[in-house]
């Protein structure tokens, strides 16, 4: 049984049905162990729980204390919430005696409450303190980082994580402004970026890429993704399914490469005398690449950049034993 608290800021879960359907929770699989790597406000987790059998189990992760507070309102013995990144999956499983899991869902987007709450500092649309931390109990804020980081590192982060072609100009402007006054609010930073960006993309605020870059860097999002993908894959049972929803090209590129490396196995020269049973075998099969429907994007514009990739782990084929002569 679940109790649902009504949050101050509403969140619409992207690809809700598609993601849960992708994990194929039916029959014997309904009593398996599943992972929601980013609980958020619980949209995926609640639907996953509704599909699980009585012996099923769901382990969810989130770094955000507000998400954890929401998760703690779910009164279901099959549900466990972990206040940490999904990059700590391996140790969390070891502590709970979990060996293999039947499905993993990673939704890499930030939740609407995080964006809409000015106090979190994720958005330039409403003025607020320049924080940007997913977990406000750990690490340094964006304001603290901007106050001390070198101009060269600022430029690199904004260029690499924001894919911003005016990174040099923005970094230079940040360093010049902080010499005059502390950069402590989202409105201050957005104004600095607007003054440094000479050409604006149609329909996009000039601060969009810089805010994305700083958020990704402060929260180590790409490093967590790389570690989390490996740990999730290592825990995935034969026949287990992994579904990952990304929201920008940096994330999707990592996910695509990770799955492709395990699905596309280099084959030796066909002219070599190698038995078919001894050929390298793929570890996963790519099942789908799914984007939100036009209707979903119309109802929730934040879904427009989402891409979900789905793959199943294939059974390991053991080498044939030679028969005794």
Fold (CATH) for 136-218:
DNA polymerase; domain 1 (1.10.150)
Q: Would you place residue 7 in the very low, low, confident or very high pLDDT band (cuts 50, 70, 90)?
A: very low
Entry field: residues in the chain: 325
pLDDT higher at 172 or 301: 172
pLDDT at 2 over 50: no
Tell whether residue 44 is among the known ligand binding residues.
Answer: yes
Residue 53 assigned ligand-binding role = no
Question: Domain map of the chain by residue range?
Answer: 16-112+221-313, 136-218
Q: Is 76 annotated as a binding residue?
A: no
State the chain's mean pLDDT as an integer.
90
Tell me the backbone φ, ψ of residue 57, rounded to 5 degrees. -150, 140
Residue 107 assigned ligand-binding role? yes
* 86 annotated ligand binder: yes
pLDDT digits (tens, 9 = 90+) for 34-45: 999 999 999 999
Query: Of all residues in the chain, what percent carry a pLDDT higher than 90?
Result: 78
Phi, psi of 182 (to 5 degrees): -65, 145
Q: Is 188 annotated as a binding residue?
A: no
* Token code pair at residue 193: 């970026």
Q: How far apart are the first and last CA of the chain?
A: 62
Per-residue confidence (pLDDT) for residue 8, from 0 to 100:
46
Give the tens place of pLDDT for each residue, 257-278. 999 999 986 655 566 666 555 5
| CATH code, 16-112+221-313 | 3.40.50.150
Look-up: residue for tokens 């000479």?
198
Rounded alpha-carbon distances, angstroms, from residue 294 to 125, 299, 304, 309? 25, 9, 9, 18
pLDDT tens digits, one per residue of 98-126: 999 999 999 998 877 777 788 888 888 88
97 is in an annotated binding site: no
Average pLDDT over residues 48-69: 97
* C-alpha–C-alpha distance, residues 171 and 49, integer Å: 46
């Amino acid at each position: 049984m679940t109790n649902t608290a009504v949050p101050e800021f509403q969140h619409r879960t992207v690809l809700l049905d598609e993601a849960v359907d992708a994990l194929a929770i039916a029959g014997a699989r309904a009593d398996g162990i599943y992972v929601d790597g980013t609980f958020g406000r619980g949209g995926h987790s609640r639907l996953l729980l509704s599909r699980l059998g009585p012996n099923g189990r769901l382990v969810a992760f989130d770094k955000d204390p507000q998400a954890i507070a929401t998760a703690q309102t779910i009164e279901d013995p099959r549900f466990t919430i972990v206040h940490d990144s999904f990059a700590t999956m391996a140790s969390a499983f070891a502590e709970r005696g979990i060996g293999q899991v039947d499905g993993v869902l990673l939704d890499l987007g930030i939740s609407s409450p995080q964006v809409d709450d000015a106090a979190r500092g994720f958005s330039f649309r409403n003025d607020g303190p320049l924080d940007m931390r997913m977990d406000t109990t750990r690490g340094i804020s964006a304001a603290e980082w901007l106050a001390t980081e070198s101009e060269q590192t600022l430029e690199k982060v904004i260029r690499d994580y924001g894919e911003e072609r005016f990174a040099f100009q923005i970094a230079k402007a940040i360093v010049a402004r902080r010499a005059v006054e502390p950069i402590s609010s989202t409105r201050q930073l957005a104004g600095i970026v607007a003054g440094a960006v000479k050409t604006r993309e149609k329909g996009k605020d000039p601060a969009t890429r810089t805010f994305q870059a700083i958020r990704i860097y402060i929260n180590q999002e790409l490093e967590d993704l790389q570690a989390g993908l490996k740990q999730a894959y290592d825990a995935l049972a034969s026949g287990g399914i992994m579904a990952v929803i990304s929201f920008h090209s940096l994330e999707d590129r990592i996910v695509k490469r990770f799955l492709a490396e395990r699905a596309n196995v280099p084959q030796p020269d066909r002219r070599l005398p190698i038995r078919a049973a001894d050929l390298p075998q793929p570890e996963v099969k790519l099942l789908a690449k799914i984007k939100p429907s036009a209707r979903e994007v119309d109802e929730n514009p934040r879904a427009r950049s989402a891409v979900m990739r789905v793959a199943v782990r294939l059974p390991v084929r053991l080498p044939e034993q030679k028969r005794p002569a």
